[in-house]
Structure 1
Amino acid sequence: MNQWQYKSDLSIILCLLFFSFGLFAKELLYKPDDNVQKLDFTTFETHLNESKAAKLIKFYNGFCEDTQRFIPVFRNLSRKLYNWIRILKVNVLDCSQDMNHRICRSFNIHKTPTLRYFPPNYTRSRYDLGIEITSRNANEIESVLASHLQKLKYFKMFAREDNVTYIFRDHTYVKYVVLVFQMCMSNFFPHWETGHSMEERIAHLDDCNEDNPVISDMGRNTLLALLRYDEVVVRVFDDHNIYNKFGISPVPNLLVIVNSAGNLLFLTPEMDTSEAYVATIEQFLKFMDHKPQSPLQKTLPTNINAALRTDIFEQLENQPHRVFRADLERAIDHILNVELPKTPLFVGKKLTVLRNFLRLLNYISPLHPEAKEKITSLYYSIRVKRKLSGVELKELIWKSFKEYKFRSKLYIGCIASRPFLRGFDCSLWTLFHYFTVESGHVKDGSVLLVFTGYVQFFMECTECRKKLKEFEVLRPITDLAKKDAQILWLWEAHNNINKQLAGGSTEDPKFPKIQFPSEKDCPRCRDDQSNWRMDEVLKYLKHIYCHENLSWFGMASAYPYTS
């Protein structure tokens, strides 16, 4: 076996493994042990209004490259934030899902990923759509979250009039209340954890007053670190008189622990830092046989491509009656950048088919508005040509599209469970079904002339050309004078070829070549003897392939919820 053959065989094996893994392993972008709860349009508002905890929500589109790059960072962050689960929930909302577009639009999500912080009991208003966190650094995000969380009631300073008994009453599972003393930095320098937070680095001593008490982060950080222990509540105080309330003489680095019986225990950390405070308290809890919450189970890094395949198959199960823009775009991308440039010379009928294909795209394109402008430019560049080489066509396509990137990277409705199946062939049929339904702006019959011309001149599948020619003999295109007849002709041709190929090597076992639509998808399309009811079939095709029914799922674009 030569080296080239070995590499080729290895690539096929790896491809098969990838497809098998993506189909059967149910890989997820976020696993159950990642401390991430996925929301959708049915649960989003209710979850936000929940009163017990604050929320960090990531709005994302899994097909977006920026989102994909951020997934490992966010996953590690969410696992770390599990320690704060008592007061902070981590959630995600998938803006690529059609059903979630309204939410992403109403919360002004202009790009993905977007991180927003929401306090407990959040109520949406015109001017409050959550607090956006722009950093993509995990440590910085954690610091920003801490600064927002410290505004919660849970972090409220323990005042002279407060009673420890109330804390035990409100938190029946609590066994100990830890009182941490800290003061305003201008009055109590030892508690200034220099450089620990942005607030401390930029604070000025004169900022410390009754209205703006710039304080050390020590108490906050101690509280956050001990959230892992259900038996403990931390309360911070900055009033020396509270010592008197408990009959205590203030001493440096003193921690006071009160149990449910009102008994006091004093701990003295080695240093005046939150890390030392936490270590001392944890040592006490360990001695008392109290353990922190169980850590999350370790999980493997996310296989993003396999996870997206899982999402796609779930989407197809939930929305079997949709046509996806991603498939149409991939078909157009493949035709322009792979199929057509293979032709050495466009002249005569070949050039006519090319020109008419671009004309269809120009008038009834399913592409993003920005791409439509590129198609128009390409169409007018070629319309004046009398002959054209494949190399020249490639250059014109490059000049027209330049830095534009097609936003579809994966097949959705045309996805395959095995390599070398479906994909482009499926998307080509889908594209021309769409053309026939949306052909109101072009001459009757012109879509089919382009379709048959494309198959004849540019399709490499000899068997496909043969079978389509046989069908044309049975149903000549010259007999078609109306748009509806054009829609039904292509549908009949597709079913005719499917019938001949069913059970063959090109059939995907997960997507068998049936007579479309199935009785389940369209019960009214057949009569009691299982004969087609053409009026119902036509109605169904017009609904499925119309522009309004196109799904944005699978597109790396914010257009559906920003336009």
Structure 2
Amino acid sequence: MTRPPEPLILVMALLNLLFFTIQATHYHQSFVHRDKPRTSVLEGHRRSSNTILENKLLAPALGKLVLFYSNSCHDCLSFASTLHKLSHQLNNWRQVLAIYKVDCEESIKVCHDFQIQHLPTLRFFHSNFERDRDGIGIGIEIRSRNIRGITTKIATLLASNSYKGVLHHKPVFKTLQSQETLKSLFHKDNVSRYLVLVFQPRHSQIGVNTLLDMLPHHEVTVRIVENPQLFANFGLQPFAQKLVLFDRNGVSHPLIPARDSSKAYVDSLKKLLRTLAQNSRTVLRDFSWKNRKSQIQGRTQDLNDKGDENNKHDLSLNQNNRRIINHVLNEPLKIYQADIEMAIGILLHIEIPKIKVIKEKALNALKMFLDVLIHLSPVSQVKTQLLRDLLSWLKNNDKLTGLDFIDLVNCYEK
């Protein structure tokens, strides 16, 4: 029998790993839940130059928060714990916000050019950063030193930021307009499964903060409602709604949070999403096992009948294998979309990055594996686009490390 090409063997091994990962996650739920905080968005850039920092500031569709500090500064050391808590609290905003820090002792010219007069200094830069006529745009200083004051200011600035160029899950901070309907909103967005309307009273930021905190949930689009009369356009009583979720079938799910805070709103939405996910879990595979069983048993009999004396031992199934096949055939296999997406997440974030160097046959196998997932795996459009982006990058490169791969995954997921 002809031996399959080695990349094909590796692809089969990856597919087997995917299958067993699905089983493991289905029964053990070993994957870290998406709601748990990931690594801090805070990134240090020692010995920064103007060019390095400006390149970071020029990144499109992102607000940037830059901390200018010094390790010998007493106020900076006092602010360190606040900054640590802030970086974790803003983790859900990482799709629209990048945070950097510059040590002014090691980057004296940078701090001079950006006109840093005291430490620590927090500056926000919009996505349309550009040099001004005096040399360098110095950004918007955030003077508050408490977490609530800082997050309030950043939320306001992010709401006015430009997100031109965002292709997937673009945040919409513009308040709901009278001509917009459930049909038109879902027609504009063919990715999201749910639409959330959140009422934001005058002089409040509860809608903006709820939108930002829900960004990791790509299946949800949040829109802010300032005119309560607009709820009537969605078949709801005006002035009686604060938070409501719609699915694509037009079914509404009004929510009554425990209190009027973005945290309570987000907690209510997450709880509802978990309930909806459990109720709508769809079976992706449910084979006609009687027909499949007869086909496999027929092929097994053919192999045993046609084999000659020298290879009967290889072709015939031993008693142990028969027990395995009978067990599988008598227990219909059910694979859920949530399990597949979770398993793919484990492979992309944990298993593949363990490989020190991915090149040649291993790289070809990885490309083939991603291609199989793109064409055969019934995952969400967001996940499919991530796989396409990864495959496109791999096709133009001939070598990478496991650490390069996880950086690539994190980059495209943003």
Q: TM-score, normalised by structure 2?
A: 0.48
Structure with the greater alpha carbon radius of gyration: 1
